[in-house]
């Protein structure tokens, strides 16, 4: 009996020494209600509380507000009472209010007199938590990078299930399923993969273990438009997964095609007058043989007109490339707006003696601008009005101004422009369907827009098919070239 007592006394001493002096483990002792009875030096060191701060307090004081509201301390205690032991990870609050992530083991201890104590051993796992957090942040970071990539990035497993994708799949393809996790790629891509190009390539890549680079493929989107992707494929994780990267090169290809079209179109337009000159030459050859000099004279005039046309087209093209690349240099001066308009009208009347230009309104105002370029705009508007008026030989020019702006309107009774084409008429190389039979390369109005823009003004048009069109431009009166 005494032996037993002794040994238990000794073990208690041993236990107490361990409890008090361990530096590695912070330990605290509570009663069955969770009231703190004892703490060790390591606890004081770690959490700042001394005996007088915390003995007699409930375990709750060590928990965060949030955890307390969830009754975590109470749950922990009842867990130990029921199961004899429990493990928890949670924050503990330092005396100075900072919080530390800890792993705690709480054990139920029974004295020989049957009194229950709870022993809580706390391990500081803050570092672990921090590294976990940073891993999480790193993943988050990678995820963010993935989502900010313009290209489509997809990871597939061997069964062609989508493991990861950086774009909203419904944005790319029509898919009734919202959740893209583990969606089958074959199912999704099938209707859009023209000629099954992509699927075959991927299956081959899985078989051979070799990816591919820069395969150009046409993929239709849900809107029905074809898009051209430059697709690369790489095998990941011991060749059990595939990484697909698709770069949308539709716009690039489109502008390449457009450029080819434009060059072709310009070549065609330049060939017209050239062919005419050639025809003139051939005809002159014959008329000279016949001594028909009146005909020769006529052909020489025609030939000259075509040379002028070529010259005009080349000038337009040159201007357009210069202006298009942002090199629009205005040579500004002060002049009376009305006089400038009159000069433009004179030019047109010489070229088209059969047409009458009716001027309404006045603009006897001094403006600052590029006189030559503005004459170019007015003559362009007027010659358009003349070219496109069928049957009528009148074009109306209206001058209008308020305190700030001068507006010019040129009105014809011509073919008119359809509403779907109207928004595009000031674009480069645009020519309305019905008016393809007329000279120029489709740069006239584009140049006008650029010139007026450089004057801080604006251009616009109104039109009714079969009735006629009115082309407008307005420029500010007070304008300073900067």
Partner 1 sequence: MGKILVVNNDIDTMDLLKSWFERKNFEVKYTSDADEVPDLVKQFYPDVVLVDVLQSKAAEQLKSDRLTKQIPVILMTGYTTSKQVI
Positions that interact with partner 1 (CB under 8 A): 260-261, 264, 267-273, 275-276, 279-280, 282-283, 286, 302, 305-306, 309, 436-439
H or E, element range at 312 = helix 293-324
Looking up tokens 């008119």 gives: 416
Min dist. Cβ of residue 289 to partner 1 (A): 11
Please tell me what DSSP assigns to residue 243.
E
Min dist. Cβ of residue 476 to partner 1 (A): 39
Min dist. Cβ of residue 406 to partner 1 (A): 35
Count H helices and E strands in the chain, helices first.
14, 17
- With respect to partner 1, which residue has the nearer C-beta, 273 or 457? 273
Cα-flanking dihedrals φ and ψ of residue 361, to 5°? Answer: 80, 170
- With respect to partner 1, which residue has the nearer C-beta, 246 or 414? 414
- With respect to partner 1, which residue has the nearer C-beta, 222 or 268? 268
Residue 17 to residues 11, 26, 115, 123, 347, Cα–Cα distance (Å): 10, 13, 21, 19, 113
Residue 138 to residues 129, 133, 144, 145, Cα–Cα distance (Å): 14, 8, 10, 10
- With respect to partner 1, which residue has the nearer C-beta, 129 or 253? 253
- With respect to partner 1, which residue has the nearer C-beta, 296 or 448? 296
Two tokens, residue 383: 């010659």
Exposure pattern of 359-384 as b/e (b: 16+ CB <10 Å)? eeeebeeebbbbbebbbbbbbbbbbb
- With respect to partner 1, which residue has the nearer C-beta, 11 or 301? 301
- With respect to partner 1, which residue has the nearer C-beta, 177 or 257? 257
Count the Cβ atoms, other than its own, within 10 Å of residue 430: 15
Min dist. Cβ of residue 286 to partner 1 (A): 6
Min dist. Cβ of residue 264 to partner 1 (A): 4
Closest to 48 in 3D by CA, of 89, 88, 97, 91 = 97
Min dist. Cβ of residue 224 to partner 1 (A): 23
- With respect to partner 1, which residue has the nearer C-beta, 40 or 384? 384
H or E, element range at 350 = helix 337-351
Angle at 45 between CA 39 and CA 47, to 5 degrees: 75
End-to-end CA distance of the chain: 109
Count the Cβ atoms, other than its own, within 10 Å of residue 292: 15
- With respect to partner 1, which residue has the nearer C-beta, 245 or 270? 270
Looking up tokens 């799949």 gives: 169
Min dist. Cβ of residue 280 to partner 1 (A): 6
Min dist. Cβ of residue 475 to partner 1 (A): 34
Min dist. Cβ of residue 352 to partner 1 (A): 14
């Amino acid at each position: 009996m005494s032996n037993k007592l002794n040994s238990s006394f000794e073990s208690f001493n041993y236990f107490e020494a361990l409890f008090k002096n361990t530096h590695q483990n912070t330990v605290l002792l509570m009663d069955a209600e969770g009231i703190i009875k004892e703490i060790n030096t390591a606890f004081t060191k770690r959490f700042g509380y001394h005996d007088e701060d915390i003995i007699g307090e409930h375990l709750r004081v060590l928990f965060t507000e949030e955890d307390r509201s969830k009754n975590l301390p109470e749950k922990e205690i009842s867990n130990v009472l029921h199961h004899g032991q429990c493990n928890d990870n949670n924050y503990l609050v330092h005396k100075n209010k900072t919080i530390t992530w800890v792993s705690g083991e709480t054990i139920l201890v029974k004295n020989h007199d049957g009194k229950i104590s709870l022993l809580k051993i706390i391990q500081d796992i803050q570092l672990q938590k921090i590294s976990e957090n940073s891993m999480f942040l790193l993943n988050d970071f990678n995820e963010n990078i993935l989502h900010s990539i313009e290209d489509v990035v997809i990871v597939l497993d061997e069964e062609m299930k989508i493991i990861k994708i950086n774009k909203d799949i419904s944005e790319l393809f029509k898919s009734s399923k919202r959740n893209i996790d583990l969606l089958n790629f074959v199912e999704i891509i099938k209707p859009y993969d023209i000629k099954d190009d992509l699927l075959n390539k991927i299956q081959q890549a899985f078989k051979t273990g070799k990816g591919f680079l820069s395969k150009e493929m046409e993929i239709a989107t849900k809107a029905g438009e074809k898009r051209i992707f430059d697709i690369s494929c790489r095998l990941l994780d011991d060749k059990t997964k595939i990484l697909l990267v698709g770069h949308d090169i539709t716009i690039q290809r489109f502008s390449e095609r457009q450029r080819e079209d434009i060059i072709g179109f310009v070549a065609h337009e330049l060939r017209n007058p050239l062919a005419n000159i050639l025809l003139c030459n051939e005809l002159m050859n014959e008329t000279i043989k016949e001594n028909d000099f009146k005909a020769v004279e006529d052909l020489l005039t025609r030939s000259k007109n075509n040379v002028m046309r070529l010259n005009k087209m080349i000038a337009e093209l040159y201007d357009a490339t210069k202006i298009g690349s942002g090199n629009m240099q205005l040579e500004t001066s002060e002049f009376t707006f009305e006089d400038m308009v009159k000069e433009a009208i004179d030019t047109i009347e010489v070229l088209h003696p059969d047409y009458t230009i009716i001027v309404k309104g006045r603009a006897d105002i001094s403006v600052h601008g590029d006189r030559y370029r503005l004459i170019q705009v007015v003559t362009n508007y007027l010659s358009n009005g003349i070219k496109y008026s069928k049957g009528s030989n009148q074009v109306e020019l209206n001058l209008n101004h308020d305190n700030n702006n001068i507006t010019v309107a040129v009105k014809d009774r011509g073919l008119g422009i359809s509403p779907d084409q109207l928004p595009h008429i000031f674009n480069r190389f645009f020519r309305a369907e019905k008016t393809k039979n007329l000279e120029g390369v489709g740069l006239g109005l584009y140049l006008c827009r650029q010139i007026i823009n450089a004057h801080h003004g604006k251009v616009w048009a109104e039109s009714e098919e079969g009735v006629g069109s009115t082309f407008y431009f307005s420029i500010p009166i007070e304008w300073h070239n900067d």
